Amino acid sequence: MASADPYDQLGVARDASQKDIQKAYRRLAKKLHPDLNPGDKEAQGKFQDLSAAYEILSDEEKRARFDRGEIDASGAEQQQQRYYRDFAQAGTGSQRYEDSSGFADFGDASDVFSTFFSQRGRRNFRLRGADRHYQLEVDFLDAVNGASRRITLPGGSTIDVSIPPGTRDGQTLRLEGKGEPGPDGGQAGDALIEIAVRPHPFFNRDGRDIRLDLPISLTEAVLGGKVTVPTPTGPVTATIPKGSNTGKTLRLKGKGIPGRDGRRGDEYLTLQVTLPDPPDAELEAFVSQWAAGRSHNPRRKMGL
């Protein structure tokens, strides 16, 4: 049976951060996972207790309710203890503690026994099955835009995983009831899918924003113009201002990563002026006779 205190199961303080809780769980799960301890009933029991504790503390709402004493370590509602004054304050004419027998302090015996047996009934629960842990690699754009993937399990069965738009690297998705079956017909555990996002060749994630180094030609830098720019949802047209230098940043509003509210962040373009490769002889000839170019000192502000 799981400890009355999931903080003890994970070995963390009551004020531990969600990141610390996740680290503690991963560290212990690596030691106790049934796949690493085949046939070890003690390890399996400890892993079930560990999973039950993590289920409470990894969910901020459940954790807060546990801290307030509203639920126990299994997630079941706590029976509120009842006192004489609770009945006495029920209101005038309640008659809760009054009857013609003269045994007013005992109240209605049927209420007492019904409460007692309902509490006992709650204790007759079946153990929940252990959670199964998997890792799924997805492409950067699938994580940004959302996708559906299928995992093939060691036994040959499959699980369909829906990847929500805006999924982060390292984020864990929970599929309820897709874990180990519960002993003696108990509730099945969950499948916990940790997402590993593959790097993109040129997109970089920054919260809900996308950052991109955008190469532009010398002509585009000097004269400006319209260029085609990649975004997670497809190419768009952006305007390069005249006289743009390397390092100048442009913003494409709403072309970033969607949040839970459906609103997207932005895409930021950092311009990179790129000379022809191999070098262009005509350009070299022009620059060699360009007097203003020879007199221009871009390091003047550095005192050089």
Model confidence over 255-290: pLDDT tens digits?
Answer: 999 988 888 999 999 999 999 989 899 999 999 888
d(CA 189, CA 5): 20
pLDDT for res 78: 63
In angstroms, what is the C-alpha Rg of the chain? 32
CA-CA-CA-CA torsion for 141, 147, 151, 157, nearest 10 degrees?
-170
What is the reported pTM? 0.57
d(CA 185, CA 220): 69
d(CA 192, CA 172): 6
Model confidence over 225-248: pLDDT tens digits?
Answer: 999 999 999 999 999 999 999 999
Please determine, for residue 45, whether its predicted confidence score (pLDDT) is greater than 90.
no
In the chain, what percentage of residues exceed pLDDT 70?
82
Per-residue pLDDT, averaged over 53-80, amounts to: 80
Domain assignment present for residue 152? The answer is yes
- 99: domain range? 84-123
Model confidence over 198-222: pLDDT tens digits?
Answer: 999 999 999 999 999 999 999 999 9
- From residue 75, give the alpha-carbon distance in Å to each of 9, 288, 301: 15, 77, 65
Would you state the structure tokens that stand for residue 243, as one six-digit string? 């006289």
Domain assignment present for residue 40? The answer is no
Per-residue pLDDT, averaged over 58-64, amounts to: 87
Tell me which of 58 and 84 has the higher pLDDT: 58
Query: How many structural domains compose the chain?
Result: 3
Apex 144 CA angle, 212 and 211, nearest 5: 15
Q: Are residues 191 and 137 in the same domain?
A: yes
Asked if residues 187 and 125 have their Cβ atoms less than 8 Å apart, the reply is no
Q: Are residues 188 and 215 in the same domain?
A: no
Q: Are residues 210 and 298 in the same domain?
A: yes
Length of the chain, please? 304
